[in-house]
A and B are shown apart, each in its own frame.
Chain A
Amino acid sequence: MSEELLTESRQTTAEPLVEVNGLKTYYDTGGMLGSQPVKAVDGVDFSIARGETLGLVGESGCGKTTLGRTLVQLETATDGEVLFDGRDVTTLSGSELKKWRRNAQIVFQDPESSLNSRMTVGEIIREPLDVHGWPNFTVAVDDPQDRSVSLSGDGTLTDDDQADITVAVGDDDQTVAVREGIPMDESAVKVSTTERGSSVTVSLSVGVSKSRLRRARVRELLKTVGLQEEHYYRYPHQFSGGQRQRVGIARSLALEPEFVVLDEPVSALDVSVQAKVLNLLEDLQEQFGLTYLFIAHDLSVVRHICDRVAVMYLGHIMEIGETEELFQNPKNPYTYSLLSAIPDPDPETTRERVTLRGTPPSPRNPPSGCPFSTRCPVKIRPTEYRDIDEQTWEGIELLGDILRNREQQSVGVRERAKRLLGLETGFDDIVDVVEEVFMPETVETEQSAAERSMADDERLEAALSDVPATVKTHIETAVELIEAGDESQAHQLLTDEFGSVCEHESPEHHPVSDTGRASYCHRHRSEYDEPEPVFDSHLDHD
Chain B
Amino acid sequence: MSETATTELPFRERLRENPRPALLWVGVLGVLLALEIGAITSVAVTVVSGLAGAVASAAAAVLGGPVVPSIGGAIDGALTSAAHVADGLPSLLSRDVIPNQGYQTPDGTWHGTFLGLEPKYAWLLRLVLVYAYMFAFLWWCWRGYRVYVRHYRFADWTPRDDMVDRLRTHRWGQFGFVVVLLFVGMALFAPAISPTSADQNIYHTSQYDVQYYDADTESVETIAVLDANLDSASRGAGTTNIGPWQYDQYDRFHPFGTMSNPGQDLFTFMAYGARISLAIGLIAIGVSVVLAGGFSMLTAYYKGLVDLSVVFVSDSIQSLPGILLLLLVVAVFQSHWLWEIYNGGLLLALAFGVVYWPGLWRAVRGPALQVAEQEWVDAAKSYGQRSVTTMRKHMLPYLLSYLLIYGSMSLGGVIIGIAGLSFLGLGIDPPTPEWGRAINTGQDYVTTPAWHISLIPGILIVIVVTGFNALGDGIRDAMDPESEGEDAGAGATASGGGA
Q: Quick check: which of A127-135, A359-367, A377-385, A479-487 contacts chain B, the rest being far away?
A: A127-135
Find chain A residues with CB under 8 A from B375 CB: 108-110, 113-114
A106 and chain B: residue at smallest CB distance: B382
Q: Kindly identify which residue among A30, A97, A132 contacts B303, using a CB–CB cutoff of 8 Å.
A: A30
Stretch at the interface among A10-18, A48-56, A212-220: A212-220
Residue B11 interfacial (CB < 8 Å): no
| Docked-complex contact B7 and A108, CB < 8 angstroms | no
- Given known pairs A101-B384, A216-B3, the reply for A118 and B481 (CB within 8 Å) is yes
Cα distance A106–B384 in the bound complex, in angstroms: 12
Q: Mark B369-383, 1 if CB is under 8 A from A, else 0.
A: 000001110111111
Collect the chain A residues with CB atoms within 8 Å of residue B159's CB.
119-120, 123
Which residues of chain A are near B1, meaning CB under 8 Å?
183-185, 216
Shortest beta-carbon distance, A384 to chain B, in Å? Answer: 51
Q: How many chain B residues touch the partner (CB < 8 A)? A: 31
- Which interface residue of B157, B384, B492 has the most chain A CB atoms within 10 A? B384
B480 contact set on A, CB distance < 8 A: 117-118
- Smallest CB separation, B129 vs chain A (Å): 41
Assess whether B8 is in contact with A101, with CB atoms less than 8 Å apart. no
Q: Could you tell me if B157 and A233 are in contact, using CB atoms closer than 8 angstroms?
A: yes
B411 within 8 A of A: no
Q: Is the CB of A98 within 8 A of B384?
A: yes
Q: Which residues on the A side are within 8 Å of B479 (C-beta)?
A: 118
Q: Assuming the A-B contacts A110-B375, A115-B376, A212-B3, are A235 and B482 also in contact, with contact meaning beta carbons closer than 8 angstroms in the complex?
A: yes
A212 adjacent to B8 (CB under 8 Å)? yes
CB–CB A116/B482 < 8 A: no
Per-residue CB contact flags for chain B residues 1-30 toward chain A (1 = under 8 Å, else 0) read 111000110000000000000000000000
If A115-B376, A207-B7, A212-B8 touch, whether A101 touches B383 (CB-CB below 8 Å) is yes
| Interface of chain B residues 452 through 492 with chain A (CB within 8 A) | 479-482, 492
Q: Kindly report which residue of chain A lies nearest to residue B304, judged by CB atoms.
A: A30
Q: Hey, which chain B residues are within 8 Å of A491, CB to CB?
A: none
Q: Given A72-B382, A207-B7, A235-B482, decide whether A118 and B397 contact each other with a Cβ distance below 8 A.
A: yes
Residue A353 is within 8 A (CB to CB) of chain B in the complex? no
Within B42-99, the residues touching A (CB, 8 Å) are none
Whether A118 contacts B383 in the complex (CB less than 8 A), given A30-B304, A183-B1, A233-B157, comes out as: no
Contacts of A98 in B (CB 8 A): 384
User: At the interface, is chain B mostly helix, strand, loop or mixed?
Assistant: helix
Interface flags for B410-451 (1: CB within 8 Å of A; 0: not) read 000000000000000000000000000000000000000000
Docked pose: A184 CA to B481 CA in angstroms: 33
Q: How far is the CA of A235 from the CA of B393 in the complex (A)?
A: 15
Question: Residue B151 at the A interface, CB < 8 A?
Answer: no
**A237 x B378 contact (CB < 8 A):** no
Please tell me if A250 contacts chain B, counting CB pairs below 8 Å. no
Please judge, given known A-B contacts A185-B1, A216-B3, whether A105 and B382 are in contact too, CB under 8 Å: yes
Query: Bound complex: CA of A212 vs CA of B304, how far in Å?
Result: 41
A74-B303 contact in complex given A118-B481, A185-B1, A215-B3, C-beta closer than 8 Å: no
Decide if B481 touches A235 in the complex (CB within 8 Å): yes
Residues in A whose Cβ lies below 8 Å from that of B374 = 113-114, 116
Main secondary structure of the interface of A (DSSP, over half): loop
CB neighbors of A among B251-307 (8 A): 303-304
B480 to chain A, nearest CB (A): 7
For the complex formed, measure the closest distance between the CB of A87 and the CB atoms of chain B, giving whole angstroms. Answer: 17
A314 touches B (CB below 8 Å): no
A417 CB → nearest B CB, Å: 32
Q: Kindly list chain A residues whose C-beta atoms are within 8 Å of the C-beta of B382.
A: 72, 74, 101, 105-106
Closest residue of chain A to B159, judged by CB?
A120
B384 touches A131 (CB 8 A): yes
- Does A225 belong to the interface (CB within 8 Å)? no
Contact of B2 among A185, A216, A237 (CB under 8 A): A216
**Assembly CA distance A255 to B480 (angstroms):** 28
Residue of B nearest to A219 (CB): B2
- Among the interface residues B1, B379, B398, which one has the most CB atoms of the partner chain A within 10 A? B379
Q: How far is the CA of A270 from the CA of B26 in the complex (A)?
A: 57
Knowing A212-B8, A216-B2, the reply to whether A108 touches B383 (Cβ < 8 A) is no
Contact B3 A237 (CB under 8 A): no
A490–B397 Cα gap in the complex (Å)?
Answer: 56
Asked if A132 and B378 sit within 8 Å, CB to CB, the answer is no
Q: Is A251 an interface residue (CB 8 A)?
A: yes
A169-196 residues with Cβ-Cβ distance < 8 A to B are 183-185
In the bound assembly, the distance between CA atoms of A74 and B375 in angstroms comes to 11
Q: Which 7 A-B pairs have the closest CB atoms?
A: A114-B375, A98-B384, A128-B383, A235-B481, A101-B384, A108-B375, A116-B376
A residues near B (Cβ < 8 Å) are 30, 69, 72, 74, 97-98, 101-102, 105-106, 108-110, 113-120, 123, 127-128, 131-132, 183-185, 207, 209, 212, 215-216, 219, 229, 233, 235, 237, 248, 251, 254-255
B residues with CB within 8 A of A: 1-3, 7-8, 157, 159, 303-304, 374-376, 378-386, 389, 393-394, 397-398, 479-482, 492
14 A-B pairs in the complex with CB atoms less than 8 angstroms apart: A74-B378, A114-B375, A114-B376, A116-B376, A117-B481, A123-B159, A127-B393, A128-B383, A131-B389, A132-B384, A207-B7, A215-B3, A248-B379, A254-B383
